[in-house]
Amino acid sequence: MADYNAIVVGSTGSVGRELIKLLASSTRCKKVVAIARRPIDPSTYATAFPGLPETHAAKVLVHVVDFDQLKIEDFAAHEADACFCCLGTTRADAGSADAFIKAVDLHYVTKAAELSKEAGIPYFGLLTASVRPYPQSHMTHQV
């Protein structure tokens, strides 16, 4: 496998943080772009990405976006070979079941995939919750 650059959408969540750490620690990954809603100062990477070795932090670049206004430039500017989508939230953080399902689980993920493809990124990996009936759940994932 050749060297590569990667983008992680949803980089500050529990899964995204782990992926940032793994990618930055890889000798083959030369740059990791963390797509985030808010700026993260490099001096706070140890807090934002727990376990990220200081020696690998230089590989990480935080790119701040408005997820409601994602643009091709958010993806194309980084010469990435892979984009990983780890977006997720809780119903409480999203504000409602509709916002949780439509905005985060559908709209943002779909837009990230479309823009990755349009930017010529050859690989898009998606990590999402399993969708299975859960009797105690008050909402379902129906699109």
What CATH number should be reported for the domain holding residue 42? 3.40.50.720
Strand partners, 32: 6, 60
Q: In total, how many domains does the chain have?
A: 1
Q: Residue 112: inside a domain, yes or no?
A: no
**Rounded to whole angstroms, what are the CA distances from 72 to 32, 51, 91, 116, 128?**
17, 31, 28, 8, 23
Residue whose entry in the numeric block shows the structure tokens 């993920």: 109
Q: What is the pLDDT of residues 26-67, one digit of tens each?
A: 999 999 999 999 999 999 998 999 999 989 999 999 999 999
pTM metric for this prediction: 0.84
Q: Residue 122: inside a domain, yes or no?
A: no
Q: Is the distance from CB of 109 to CB of 125 less than 8 angstroms?
A: no
Q: Residue 116: inside a domain, yes or no?
A: no
Q: Residue 52: inside a domain, yes or no?
A: yes
Q: Which structural domain range is residue 79 located in? A: 4-107
